Amino acid sequence: MDSGAIGRRLALGAAVLAAAGTLGLVTSGAAQAAAADGCAGRQVRALPFSTGVTQIYNDNGYICAITVARHPGTTQTMSVSVQARGGRPVVDQGSYRHHAGPITVHAGHRCVWIRGSVGSGSVSSGWILC
C-alpha cells in the first residue's frame, strides 16, 4: 500500500471513531432524558385532572406511574399509586414541588388500578390495561 492509501484509511478510521463517539453521546443523552421522566417503557395512558396529570407507562408487563403537578414549584401534597389486580397498592405520597413517583409494579397481564392526586384534585382510573 502506498502512503496515500494508508492516509485515507487512517482518515476513514478517525471519522468512524468520531461518529461512534457522537452517537454514544446522543444515545446517553436520550437515556438520561428517559430517566429524568422517571418511567421506562412507552406511555400508554395519561389521566388528566384539575391540578395535575398521572402518566402511565408499560415496559414488558411492568407498569410505572408518575403524577405531575400542573403548577409545579410550590410544595403541595401529591400521591400516586398502582395496584395490580390481586395485589396491594404501591403508593408514593408526600409533599413535593413537581411530581410524586415514579412507582413501578409488575402486573404481567393483570388489570391495574391507578390513582393520582395533587392538592385537592385527584383521579382514579378504575381497572384498566386488562
Cell triple for residue 111? Answer: 388489570
Where is pLDDT greater, at 37 or 100?
Answer: 100
Q: How is domain 39-128 classified at the architecture level of CATH? A: Sandwich (2.60)
Cβ 114 vs Cβ 44: under 8 Å: no
pLDDT in the model for residue 26: 38
Reduced to 3 states, what is the DSSP secondary structure of residue 67?
strand
The better pLDDT of the pair 18, 45 is held by 45
User: Given the C-alpha cell 408514593, which residue does it identify?
Assistant: 92
Q: Domain map of the chain by residue range?
A: 1-37, 39-128
Q: What angle do CA 117, 50, 123 make, to 5 degrees?
A: 40
First to last CA, the chain: 65
Amino acid 56: pLDDT = 98
